[in-house]
Amino acid sequence: MHRYIKPACYLLVILLQFGCKGSYNDKHPSVVGDIKDNAAWYPKVTGGNVLEASVTIPVPNDFTCKPYDDLNASARPCTLKDIEMDKNPYDNYKPQIHVVYANQDYSAFTPNASMKQKGKSTRRAKQASFRIILDKNRPLYRGERTFNLNKHPYDRSRIRNMLSFELFQSIPNFTSLRTQFVHLMVYDENGTKNYGLFTHIEQCDKLYLKNHGFSSSDNLYKAQNYYFQMTDALKIDAKGKPLNKDAFDASLEMQNGKDREKVVAMTQAVTNARTNKEFEKVFNKYFNRNNYLTWFAINIVLDNKDTITQNFFLLNPALSDKFYFLPWDYDGIAHNRDTAPKWSKGIANWWASPLHRKFLKIKKNRDDLDAMVHYLREKYITDEKIHALMDKYKPLVEPYVKSLPDSAHMNGDWDKEFAWVRNEMVPGSMRDYEACKGDPMPFWQSYEYKNDDLVIGWGRSYDLEHDPIVYDITLATDPEMENKLLSLTNVKEKDLNMTKWGDIHYDTGLSLEPGTYFLKIVAKQENDPSKYQIALDQYRDEEEKRHDGVMEIIIE
C-alpha cells in the first residue's frame, strides 16, 4: 500500500533584492507588492512517488451526449469512446462522462466526478489527456477538486512539467503549481485497461487562489491568444461586459472574478504607449517589475518559447491595478531546439508582443533581465538542483515509459532524451541566449502585385543597440531560394522607401507570370554580418518541410 505524504511547511521563500520593499501578500489576502507563494501548500516530496488512481465508468452513463461518429443523432448515454474521440477543442462538441474516481488515499463506490478530454494540439496524439473534476457535493482530495492528467505525448522525457514546477517552488517573486505523477487504471464494460503514466498539474482557479494565499475575489485570466494588444475581441460595453464573450475568452479567458475593465484598460494603455517614457509609466502602473523579470528570465533559462500569447495566467488582485504573471504548461521547454527558427532563440522570441517589445527597447530593462537570467541560473536553476530532481524522477518514470501502453508511443530513445534534459537542456538554453545577443529583431514580410509590377515590403528590423542595418533580398521560384529571380545584398535603409512607422517598400520592377514565388529577406548588422535575423514568416511545402523566414507569393 502506498504511503500518504502529508504536506509539510519546509520551503522558505527568500525575498529577491531587486528593489523589493519588505513583505507582501503574506500581510494582505490580495497582493499589494511583490508576490509570494504559499510554501506550506506543497508536499515535502512533490515528485517522490506515483499516485495510483482509477476511474470506473458506469454503463449506461447518466451523462448524455451525441455519438462522436454521428453528431446529427439524438443524445444517448456518453461513453469513453466519445471522450477519446473529442479531437477538436474549438468546436461545440464537448462530451463528458460521470465516473467513479478513486486513488490510494481517496475511496469512492458511486459516481463522484466528471471526466473529459483536455488539451489543444495534444488531442491529435494517440494518447489522450484527461480532466477529472470531483462533484461539488464530494469532499476535496488534499484541497483539490480538479485533476489535470497530462500525458505529455510530445515530451519524450515525460518529466518537463514536473521538473519545472518543482524548481519554481523555491524561486522568489513567483508561484508554482502542485504536480504529481499518476498511474491511471480504467474500468468499464470492456474490462480493465492500463492507461499508463500521467502528470497531474494543479488547476488554476478560485480554489487555487485560496490555497496559494490570495483572495477569492481576485481576477484571474488564462492567456489563450493574447498579445497585450487591443483588438475587437477585447472590446467591452459601458457595463464592462464583452461585446463578444466567446471572442474575449478565446483571447483571454476569465478563470475567476468579474472585472474585465482593468485588463482592458491595461491592454489599451500598453497598446497606446508610443515612447519609452510613456511605456515606463504604463509598466510601473500595471506590472510588478520583480515578478515580470522573474517570469521572463525563467522562460529564457528553460527555453519555454511558447509563452508569447499563451501558457501563462495573469493575476489581478481585486484592490490593485497590478497584473502578475503565473506559470502554466512547461512540457514544451527546449522542444526541437536544434530545428527551431533563428528568431525563436534569445529575446527575439517575444518581440511580436507589444508589452515585451516595448520593455526590451529600454536598455536598463534589458540589463535587468540579463541580470535576472544569470541570477536564477546561478542560484535556483542550477545543474545540481536539476540533477538531484531528475535522479529522483528516473526510477519512478522509467518502469512506465518502458512498458505498455506508454512504450508503444515514446517515439525515440527515452534514456537519451532523459539524459539530454538532465545534462544539456539548460546549458544549451544559456548558450543560445548568449549567442543571440546583438542580433537584430525579426519582422514580417508582405507584397503587392499591381499593374504587372511586384512591390515587396517588410517591417523595419530593430537593432537594440541602434547599429546600422542592411538587408539581403532574395526572390526565387523555389523555397530553397536556389532559382533566383532577384538577389540583392547589403541594401541600406537609406536606399529604401520607409514610412514613419517603419514599414519598408521596395519596387522590384518585376512582371511575373502566374505562379508561385518565394521571398526571403535577411536583416544584418552592417558592421558585423554574423549578427543577423530572418523574418517571422514560415512556409511549409507539400512534404511538410518547414522553410523559416520564407514567404509564399502567389501571382494569379
CATH classification at residue 484: 2.60.40.10
Q: Once rounded to an integer, what is the mean pLDDT over residues 219-223?
A: 98
Cα Rg of the chain, angstroms: 25
Residue type, 447: Y
Q: Where is the domain boundary, 148, 172, 201?
A: 201
Establish if 476 belongs to a structural domain: yes
Taking Cα atoms as reference points, which of 470, 529, 527, 474 lies closest to residue 495? 470
Establish if 535 belongs to a structural domain: yes
Bridge partners (DSSP) of residue 457 are 446, 505
Q: How far is CA 170 from the centre of its chain?
A: 21
Taking Cα atoms as reference points, which of 455, 447, 449, 451 lies closest to residue 508? 455
How far is residue 472's CA from residue 522's CA, in Å, rounded to a whole number? Answer: 5
The C-alpha cell of 95 is what?
A: 462530451
Mean pLDDT rounded to a whole number for the chain: 93
- At residue 31, the pLDDT reads 65
Phi and psi based region of residue 452 (left: phi greater than 0; alpha: psi -120 to 50; beta: remaining): left
Q: Extract long-range pairs of 64-70: CB within 8 Å, 24+ residues apart.
A: 65/93, 65/95, 65/96, 66/93, 66/95, 68/93, 68/95
The C-alpha cell of 468 is what?
A: 546600422
User: Which region among 70-74, 269-273, 411-415, 513-517 has the lowest average model confidence (pLDDT)?
Assistant: 411-415
Which distant-in-sequence residues (6+ apart) come within 8 Å of 92 by Cβ? none
Quick: pLDDT tens for 80-111: 999 999 999 989 999 999 999 999 999 999 99
φ, ψ (nearest 5 deg) of residue 543: -95, 10
How far is residue 396's CA from residue 417's CA, in Å, rounded to a whole number? Answer: 16
Q: Where is the domain boundary, 201, 225, 247?
A: 201
Establish if 71 belongs to a structural domain: yes
How far is residue 57's CA from residue 466's CA, in Å, rounded to a whole number? Answer: 63
Does residue 18 register a pLDDT over 70?
no
- In this prediction, residue 44 has a pLDDT band, given cuts at 50, 70 and 90, of confident
How far is residue 254's CA from residue 218's CA, in Å, rounded to a whole number? Answer: 11
Establish if 490 belongs to a structural domain: yes
Establish if 399 belongs to a structural domain: no
How far is residue 372's CA from residue 369's CA, in Å, rounded to a whole number? Answer: 5
Establish if 221 belongs to a structural domain: no
- In this prediction, residue 32 has a pLDDT band, given cuts at 50, 70 and 90, of low
- At residue 217, the pLDDT reads 94
Q: Once rounded to an integer, what is the mean pLDDT over residues 151-172?
A: 96
Q: Which residue has the cell 514580410?
A: 445
Question: In terms of DSSP H, where are the helices of 11-159?
Answer: 80-84
Report the DSSP pairing between strands 179-188 and 50-56: parallel
- Percent of the chain beyond pLDDT 90? 89
How far is residue 119's CA from residue 87's CA, in Å, rounded to a whole number? Answer: 9
- In this prediction, residue 4 has a pLDDT band, given cuts at 50, 70 and 90, of very low
- At residue 2, the pLDDT reads 33
Does residue 549 register a pLDDT over 90?
yes
Establish if 485 belongs to a structural domain: yes
Quick: pLDDT tens for 345-393: 999 999 999 999 999 999 999 999 999 999 999 999 999 999 999 999 9
The CB-side HSE value for 160 (13 A sphere, CA atoms) comes to 25
φ, ψ (nearest 5 deg) of residue 160: -60, -45
Question: In terms of DSSP H, where are the helices of 321-441?
Answer: 354-360, 363-379, 383-401, 414-423, 425-435
Total residue count of the chain as it appears in this document:
556
Number of structural domains in the chain: 2
- In this prediction, residue 46 has a pLDDT band, given cuts at 50, 70 and 90, of low
Give the range of the structural domain holding residue 518, as residue numbers without chain letter.
445-555
Q: Where is the domain boundary, 171, 201, 231?
A: 201
- At residue 120, the pLDDT reads 86
User: Which region among 120-129, 257-266, 534-543 has the lowest average model confidence (pLDDT)?
Assistant: 120-129
> 26 or 98, which is more confident?
98
Establish if 548 belongs to a structural domain: yes
